[in-house]
Amino acid sequence: MQTGALQIRTLGLLWQIHDAASYVIEWTREASGDITGDHTRTMAIERQVGVVGEAARRLDARDPETAKGIPGLEEAVLLLDMLLLEYDNVDYARLTNFVNTVLPGLDRVAASLLEQHEHSVPEHL
């Protein structure tokens, strides 16, 4: 992981990961961990997990050194692929496992990196 200031694009992608992950974690907590009990909530969670996955894919392409230090990014990309390509047969057990076990750690690392570089983050992020 880089020790100096992160690039603005990297910070933007970390913010997108953190923002979407925070949303999913909040909605999942409100549902007591059950992401499939409410159709609208499930669709919102799927969408935000997709945002995390796409931001993870872009982060790995633009800043692989930072990406390799963030646990769960590869799983987020794989989940994005599942949500896009297997939209009619989503593995909700896999999605629930990711949301409840992987996503909180991924969010903590993204938030920590943002905090470490908060002086570099533009106000619009």
- 115 burial (CB, 10 Å; 0-12 / 13-18 / 19+) is exposed
Quick: pLDDT tens for 34-57.
Answer: 888 889 999 999 999 999 999 999
How high is the pLDDT of residue 1? Answer: 42
Higher pLDDT, 6 or 28: 28
Flag whether pLDDT at 124 surpasses 70.
no
How high is the pLDDT of residue 69? Answer: 92
**Could you tell me the end-to-end alpha-carbon distance of the chain, in angstroms, rounded to an integer?**
21
How high is the pLDDT of residue 123? Answer: 56
Flag whether pLDDT at 62 surpasses 50.
yes
pLDDT averaged over every residue in the chain: 89
Flag whether pLDDT at 121 surpasses 70.
no
How high is the pLDDT of residue 51? Answer: 98
Contacts of 23 (CB under 8 A, 6+ apart): 44, 48
- Mean pLDDT along residues 70-82: 95
Distance of alpha carbon 86 from alpha carbon 63, whole angstroms: 28
